[in-house]
Amino acid sequence: MFKSKVTRHDNSGLRKIPENRFRIILLSAYLSIFTLSLNHISLATEQTNQQEGYHVIDELVVNNRNKFKTVIFESEAEGVSEMRKLIASSQIEESWVYLPQRGKWIEIGHNEEAEKKVDKRYITKAKLDVQLLDKLMSDDHNMVLYHFHPSHSLSLEYKIRKREEGGSPMNDGEIERERIKLLIKSAYPSRSDLLNMIGNTMEFFERNSEGNITFKVCSHYGITEYYLTDEGMTHLSADNSFKQILWVKGISSSANIEANVKGEILEMNPRETRDPLERIKMSPKQKRKPVSRYIIIDPLARIQKAIEAMNDEYIRVAFTPYE
C-alpha cells in the first residue's frame, strides 16, 4: 500500500512571505510568456466560485459540476486506490486536498474539462477553486494537494487517425510505443503544476509558518511528489521575479528531454541503437542463445531518471511506483 510522506519544513525566519496573490500573478505571467507544451499539460488556471454546499460520498469521483464539492472520509491509501481507477477510465482531471489528521478528502477542482485541441495543441484544463482552498489553508496546517493525469490521450487518437487517412496506418506495435511515451510523460508534473505548487506553497506558509504541505500527481505508473525545499522558500521570498518562471521552465524541460523515449536499447555494441519498446527480431541462431544481448529499458526506469533530473536545491521531486 502507498504510504504518505508529508514534507515538513522549518520556516523560522520566513515570516515575510510575498503578497497573497503571488500565486495568481506568477501563473498569469507564465501563461502570457510560454506556450502550452504538446500532449498532456495540466492547465491549472485558478478560479473562484460561490460555495453551495458539500456532498459526502463513499469514494473519489470526478465531479465537474460546480454546484457542490464532494467530501470523502477515508485513508490516503484508499483514496489513491480509487484514483487509479479514475486514471484508467476518466477523460477529465480532478483535484483534491487530503487532510491526513482527519482522514478526509475534499474536492477542490472547478470547471474541469476533457482534453481538447487548442491552437493545434492538446491540453487538459483542471482549474482550482481558490476561495475554498484559501479557507482550507486557514483552517488546516497539514495537507496534501492531489490531482491525477488520465491515461486517455486525444492526441494519440488524432495521430492514429491521421496515419490512417494518409494511407500508412500505425501497426499495433507503433500504437503501443506511442501510448507508453504519453503515459511516461503523464508521470511528470507539468510546468503549470510546478508553478501552482510554488504559488500555493507561499500562500500556505503565510497562514501556517510551522505547517506541512506537499503536492502529488497520480499517473498510470505511480505517484510523483513535488515540493519546495527550505532553500527554495528562502530564495522565492527574496526574489519572486520572472527568474522563477525561467527556473521552472528549465526544470520541466529536463524531464521533457527524458520523456522523448527515442531509440535507446543498451547492448554490447553501443554504437547501434534500437527502439526500446520494439519487439526485437533475431535470427534463429540468436534465439538459441540463453540470454538476449538486448536490454530493453523499463518505463519506470525512464521516469525515475527524468524525475531525478528535475531536482535541485530549491525543489524536490520524487516518483513512487504503485505496488
Is the pLDDT reported for residue 20 higher than 60? no
Whole-model pTM?
0.74
Closest alpha carbon to 184 in 261, 294, 122: 261
Q: Where do the domains of the chain lie?
A: 22-321
What percentage of the chain exceeds 90 in pLDDT?
A: 38
Is the pLDDT reported for residue 33 higher than 50? no
Alpha helices in the chain (DSSP H): 22-33, 76-89, 130-139, 154-165, 172-185, 191-207, 230-238, 243-259, 284-287, 299-310
> What is the average per-residue pLDDT within 65-85?
95
Question: Which grid coordinates belong to 280?
Answer: 526485437
* Residues facing 121 on adjacent strands: 118
For residue 220, how many other CB atoms are within 10 A of its CB? 20
CA distances from 84 to 54, 127, 168, 194, 217 (A): 23, 20, 34, 22, 11
Is the pLDDT reported for residue 174 higher than 60? yes
Confidence (pLDDT) at 260: 61
CA distances from 280 to 285, 299, 302 (A): 14, 17, 19
